Structure formats: structure tokens, C-alpha cells
Amino acid sequence: MKKIKIGIFGVTGYTGIELLKILSNHPMADIIFVGANSNIGPYVDEIIPNLKISKRLKIRKNSEILKIKKIDLIFSCLPGGGLISMYNKVKRMGAKIIDLSGDFRLGKRSHAQWYKSRRNASTLKDFQYILPEINKDKINRKKNISNPGCYATSILLGLIPIANNLKDLEDIIVDTKSGISGAGKSGNLEHSFSESYDNLSTYNVGNHRHAPEVEQLIFKESGKKINLIMVPHLLPIKRGIMSNIYISRKTPFNHKQILKSFKDYYLDSNFVKVLETGLPKINDVQNTNMCQIGIKVMPQNRILLISSVIDNLTKGASGQAVQNMNLLFNLEENLGL
């Protein structure tokens, strides 16, 4: 079988670097292009010192990909608007695209509300939102993929097994904490060491783009319109997300039943582990493509806590993107992961 010829946009960002690390160990990946907006010129292994890669790849301008004749797949690790600005030209190259930004995640109306990047309606049709554990059976191998957001991944994997049991318009509280690499390579003062270290702060409370992303997929999969109350935190570590999902109910929750529904849902999953007892910690998944989920029926049995942890750069971004690549190219879902 022939290797997949791959190009990467935005290779010098944290998700780009992580993607490169994963792909350089992937038996079917042949990286032939790495692009960036700055740091043009040097080889990637000069910029990313702990990369182990046999091939020497020069960092080129993203737009230089157009000079390449044969390419099968492009990963875009660009921030919002980056891929859109060159999409029409890139489309003509005929390669599949997996986009890690938020640009193609939301439907028309939500997108206009939550994102500034202007998207052409026809462009949106080229993309499908795939979170493998949830909707890989619906994958269309002729379409591009919009890769899920990091918070959204951790929350969706925690919610989906019981989505059918949710009520319409139910309020679901998610107290969620992310390592600071989630903000990307950032020169914002709030992401500086001296401000973030030895601290904990909330941001975009009740107002984070990943909330409509979760609500949208829950609706598509279960028909339930939920109301996600999302409280994100800047956690003073580099990598990892813990999402605590709280669901209230008048009728008592039954731990056994709920645990069973989770275990059944993830029975064949390579990347989701449901804990028999206890709740997971962030260390348990760092530097892996795993999601770990713990379940706790709280005293009085009226509140259910689902605690879901992932590494925001792997399962929350580049690992999941490679998982999506595997599915798109009909490879084993966990190849190279």
C-alpha cells in the first residue's frame, strides 16, 4: 500500500509540532510539505529540538504548497481564518483536508454568532465534523474533516453515552480546566509565565465557542437541545483538560446502570477508558490519545458527576486529527497512535 503524501499548514504552533511528532512515527505517513507563516527557512528539526524525524524538511511558506504536484492530505493547524483565506486555491489541488481550527465546526447561524472568520456556504459543505468515537460510522471519505475542539472533545465524550436520557433544554454545568498550551503560542500577558503560574482563573465563562459545538453534536446524535453552562479555567500546567460535567435529576441516578451504559458505549473503543471506580486525573492521559472517564453519583443520588480527562494537544487536537486521517484513508483507527 502506498504511503499518504501529507502537507501541514502551521507546523510551528503547538498542534503543528504535536502532529509532526505523531506523524513521524506513523507507518503510512509521508510528510512532504511543512508550512508556516513565520520561521520560514530552517529545517523543522532545527526549530523543534526534540523531534525525531528521519527526513529533513524545510519550513516553507504555507502558500508554497501550491507548487506541489501530488499531495493526498493537508492538515491545517492554522488559527481561525487561516485556511479560509487560501481555501479556494488549495481545493483545486484535490487533496483531502483535515482542519484543526474552529472554522468549519459550527452550522451557519451559530458560526456567524461565535466566529468572526467569514465562511462561504459552499465551503462548509466540503467539511464534516467527525469525533470518531461518536460519529465515525457516518464518515464520508470524499469530504474534508473539521476536527473537534479540545474542550468539546472532553465534554462530548463524557456526555454522549447518556445523551438520549437528557431532557430537552436541560442545563448541564461543565466546570472545566485546561492547560495553557490550549491558548496556542501566545504573547498575551495573561498567558505569560508570571501571570499564569501559581494561579487559577476563569475566562469566557458562559461564553465559550466550544459550548455551541457540544450542543450541536448532541442535538444531531440524540435530538436533544441541551443548554451547556460552560466554565473554563486557565490551569497552571502545560497540557491536559479535566471537564467535570454535572447533571441534575429528580429521579435518582443509579451508578451501576450509568456505568454500564458508558461501558457499553465504549466497548470497542481504542481511546476511551471508563473507570470502574474513582475519577481520573490529568496525569493519567498526558501525552496519550486517551480519554478517561469516571462516574460518580453524588450523595442523595440526584446529581451525576461525569469527570472526563484528555490531553488537549493529542486527543484534543493532533492525535484525534491523525485518528481522523486513519478513518478517512481506511486505515486501522489506532495506527501510529
Q: x/- string (CB under 8 A) for a second copy, residues 87-126?
A: ----------------------------------------
Nearer to a second copy by C-beta: 88 or 248?
248
Contact status: 225 vs a second copy (CB under 8 A): no
Q: At what angle do helices 210-222 and 150-159 cross, to 10 degrees?
A: 30
Q: x/- string (CB under 8 A) for a second copy, residues 119-138?
A: --------------------
Question: What is the Cα–Cα distance from 78 to 170, expressed in whole angstroms?
Answer: 35
Nearer to a second copy by C-beta: 190 or 264?
190
Let me know if 150 is a catalytic residue: yes
Contact status: 47 vs a second copy (CB under 8 A): no
Given 48, 134, 150, 180, which residue is catalytic? 150
* Longest CA span, the chain: 64
Residue 62 DSSP class? G
Contact status: 30 vs a second copy (CB under 8 A): no
Instruction: Decide the pairing of beta strands 291-297 and 272-274.
Output: parallel
User: Please, are residues 291 and 157 in contact by the beta-carbon 8 Å criterion?
Assistant: yes
User: Please, are residues 15 and 75 in contact by the beta-carbon 8 Å criterion?
Assistant: no
Question: What is the Cα–Cα distance from 273 to 292, expressed in whole angstroms?
Answer: 5
Among 303, 329, 333, 335, binds a second copy (CB under 8 A): 303
User: Please, are residues 8 and 77 in contact by the beta-carbon 8 Å criterion?
Assistant: yes
Contact status: 287 vs a second copy (CB under 8 A): yes
CB-neighbour burial class of residue 45 (10 A; exposed 0-12, middle 13-18, buried 19+) = middle
Contact status: 86 vs a second copy (CB under 8 A): no
- Please work out, in degrees rounded to the nearest 5, the angle formed at the alpha carbon of residue 26 by the alpha carbons of 21 and 31: 70
Contact status: 5 vs a second copy (CB under 8 A): no
Only one of the segments 47-55, 122-130, 139-147, 315-323 lies at the binding site for a second copy (rule: CB under 8 A); that segment is 47-55
- Joined grid coordinates for residue 158: 463524557
Question: What is the Cα–Cα distance from 276 to 325, expressed in whole angstroms?
Answer: 31
**Main-chain dihedrals φ then ψ at residue 217, nearest 5 degrees:** -75, -35
Residue 248 Cβ vs a second copy, minimum distance, rounded to whole Å: 6
Contact status: 197 vs a second copy (CB under 8 A): yes
Contact status: 256 vs a second copy (CB under 8 A): no
Q: Which residues are catalytic?
A: 150
What is the binding site for a second copy (CB under 8 A)?
Answer: 14, 49-50, 52, 171, 173, 175, 177, 180-181, 183, 185-189, 191-202, 205-207, 227, 229, 231, 235-238, 240, 242, 244, 246, 248, 273, 279-288, 290, 292, 296, 298-300, 302-303, 305, 307
